[in-house]
Amino acid sequence: MSELRDILANSITDRMTYTGETVKNLRTGKTFKAEYEEISDIEMNEALGRDPRESATLHVQDRIAAATLFANDKIEIRMNGVTAKFVVLGGRRKDNPGSSQVEFGLMKFVQGRDT
């Protein structure tokens, strides 16, 4: 049983020390850290007649930064040495008081289509 506790303790420690990706709010110019989670239901989006572009969830622990992020804001996320642009989706914000993070739905930004 102590091995299981050690595994859980290590997981919690790793989670607490993970700083996330650097995110820049292009409207305000401010940067903050957040966790990026890919959503791989692109085929489902197409089947339902939704926009087939890449979708993601952004987990923001900094509530001050989360309060300044609004629907249709454009953001840049730097991951693995590559910068990608996304649009914050309206209606996909989750701010559960029991969670330490605020979640935002994102969709990949396409120049010309989202301007």
Number of domains composing the chain: 1
Q: Is residue 8 part of a domain?
A: no
Specify the higher pLDDT residue, 107 or 9: 107
- Going through the chain in order, the beta strands assigned E by DSSP cover 21-25, 31-39, 55-60, 74-79, 82-88, 102-108
Tell me, yes or no, whether 73 lies in a domain. Answer: yes
Range of the domain at 54: 20-108
Give per-residue pLDDT as tens, 35-50.
998 876 655 556 665 5
pLDDT band at 115 (very low <50, low <70, confident <90, very high): low
Question: Would you say residue 9 lies in a domain?
Answer: no
Residue 6 backbone phi and psi in degrees, to 5? -65, -40
Whole-prediction pTM value?
0.73
Residue 88 domain-assigned?
Answer: yes
The pLDDT tens digits for 36-90 are 988 766 555 566 655 556 788 999 988 899 999 999 999 999 988 889 999 999 8
In a domain? residue 75: yes
